[in-house]
Chain A
Amino acid sequence: MANEAPDRIAELRAKVAAELPNVDFVLGYGRGFDPLHATPVTVRNVKDLDKLIFDPTCVQNLATSLYGVRGKRLGVVVKGCDSRSVIQLLQERLWERENLVIFGLPCEGVLDLAKVRATLDISTVRAVAFAGSPRDGKVILTLPEGQRELETGGLLADKCLRCQHPNPLVYDHMIGAELAPQGAEDTYADLAALEKLSTQERFDFWKRQMGRCIRCYACRNACPLCVCKHVCLADSREPHWLSAEATLQEKWLFQVMHALHLAGRCTECGECQRSCPMGIPILLLKRMMNRELRELFNYQAGVSLDAIPPLHTFLMEEDRIKDRGLLW
């Protein structure tokens, strides 16, 4: 990838340049405030093209920004996982396909900065270079004390380790060659570990986790599918689902609400958990919901544009749901 990457960025820039007259702006990745951070950038004219980058530091899901600028004609750069959020937005008719130009980038994985942070102090990193593919290559970090090489594989986000869709599922321009899925089958091992605990222990686990929530709502704001932020039930006084009290109960109910409102919609892009400043493993709740959806309705969100969301339909005789009324 080290040799191929400049070509890919050149290709991306060329394709974005070709589409610029047709769109209001293009949303892509640019270098952030330090070498380990990427940031979303808008490309409005040819001069902005140099800002565009793509490498394993491009962790953000740019689909999150789409709903806020609906009504415009937009280009957006997506990875495989981000394209699922786009599909979900299109499926729910929250965006029109004809107003969206999608630049798809096959992706081998992005870094989890929490994992990097666990190894070294990232504020001291001065330069970052990637050698080889993210799966088996190295990341070379320039630190004040010299260079340090780390295996990229060990620093990839968890979602990348179980990635089944490295190639964007919806796109107008595919940039670079398509990749074969390298992720392991998702066995939901994290959920299984949690399920080994007793109910009381699980309650205590979440009490501990939710207890440190500061109600910043970064999880909600980072979620590409939380599209009713302006009328969110968490802020509403009528109905008054949540009060402004900083009690465990309110924090917990908010997270349950987030999971419930994402049932059948969440594509597990992991933005909620990544953006959480307190490191609360909230993606677990959504994964639980997704696992059960898969088991009950054999459904995965954001994979097909034509799929009917399972909670928007029903069968007169459900195959997998036993009649509760007769069980006990």
Chain B
Amino acid sequence: MPDMGRDYRIIGFLCNWCSYGGADAAGVARFSQPTELRIIRVPCSGRVDPMFVAKALLSGADGVLVSGCHPRDCHYTEGNLYARRRLELLRRFLPIIGIDEGRFEYIWVSASEGSRWRDMVTRFSEKIHALGPIPRMAEAAHTLCVLDGMLGVSSAQPDMWTAGDAGHEPRRDALLHMDDYKEVMDGE
């Protein structure tokens, strides 16, 4: 899908003690930074439930950045060490549902690393720009309904049980390509 020039939306979950301070330091030092990042302050990177990231991405955020204290530096001693395991697992999980692994990243930035914060944010945001906007779900769902007739046959039926000559044929998980509903999309 071409970049229609809409603003990118990147959500940042920053821990209160290090990364939020680091971002603040970058601001105080008047570094120029990309403006797409929306920062949400959390008490600790250990507070970041992977669901926060999943919900953000599935709700249309183009990227999610989680930043916490460096390992061993956590204000609560071990919050970021639990977070590291959870977030690494999430990072590896996301590609299977069709979300590019580059859209989610977790990093460590301490309160004094203003310039490192600037570099990280700039690079992450460049990466998101290179990936383009996240695939839009809302329109596609609408399009699918239009295609199948929302109240008639559900989009499930054709590929669940194909009625063949010999009664039923096994289910085939058909792929629906963008091309299939491009015309409908253009019409919208």
A: which residues have CB within 8 A of B?
114-115, 117-118, 120-121, 191, 194-195, 197, 199-209, 211-212, 233, 241, 247-249, 252-253, 256-257, 259-260, 263, 278-279, 281, 284-285, 288-289, 292-293, 296-297, 310-311, 314-316, 318, 321, 323-325, 328
Contact = CB atoms under 8 A, between A and B. Distances in A.
Nearest to A200: B135
Contact of B141 (A248, A263, A278): A248
Contacts of B71: 316
Given A207-B141, A256-B58, A256-B97, 8 more contacts: A200-B135, A249-B141, A256-B51, A292-B89, A311-B86, A318-B84, A318-B88, A328-B123
B50 interface: yes
B92 A241 contact: no
Given A212-B156, A316-B72, A191 B92 contact: no
A118 B137 contact: no
A300 to B, nearest CB: 15
B88 A241 contact: no
Interface bracket on B: 35 or more
Instruction: Decide if the interface of chain A is mainly helix, strand, loop or mixed.
Output: helix
A310 B86 CA distance: 9
Nearest to A315: B81
A116 B123 CA distance: 53
B35 interface: no
Contact of B89 (A209, A284, A296): A296
Given A204-B98, A211-B155, A325-B109, A256 B54 contact: yes
A285 B96 contact: yes
Nearest to A253: B58
B182 to A, nearest CB: 12
A275 B93 CA distance: 23
Contacts of B58: 249, 252-253, 256
A207 B84 contact: no
Contacts of A328: 123, 127
29 contacts: A114-B171, A118-B170, A120-B167, A191-B96, A194-B96, A200-B98, A203-B98, A208-B159, A249-B138, A249-B141, A256-B97, A257-B51, A260-B51, A260-B54, A260-B90, A263-B89, A278-B156, A279-B171, A285-B93, A310-B85, A311-B85, A314-B81, A316-B71, A318-B85, A318-B88, A321-B85, A324-B88, A325-B108, A325-B109
Contacts of A207: 98, 137, 140-141, 144, 176
B30 interface: no
B24 interface: no
Contacts of B106: 324
B133 to A, nearest CB: 12
Given A247-B138, A279-B171, A314-B78, A204 B178 contact: yes
Given A115-B170, A285-B97, A296 B108 contact: no
B107 A324 contact: yes
A229 to B, nearest CB: 17
Interface in B84-116: 84-86, 88-93, 95-100, 105-109
A325 B170 contact: no
A253 B56 CA distance: 10
Contact of A293 (B89, B120, B144, B173): B89
Contacts of B107: 324-325
A260 B81 contact: no
A208 B171 CA distance: 14
B82 interface: yes
B52 to A, nearest CB: 10
Contact of B105 (A311, A323, A324): A324
A206 B98 contact: yes
Nearest to A204: B176
Contacts of B4: none
Contacts of A197: 175
B137 A252 contact: yes
A203 B97 contact: yes
Given A118-B168, A249-B59, A201 B95 contact: no
Given A279-B160, A314-B81, A325-B70, A200 B96 contact: no
A321 B174 CA distance: 35
Contacts of A212: 154-156, 160
B177 interface: yes
Contacts of A314: 78, 81-82, 84-85
Contacts of B6: none
A128 B107 CA distance: 58
B118 to A, nearest CB: 14
B106 to A, nearest CB: 6
Given A205-B173, A212-B155, A248-B137, A253 B97 contact: no
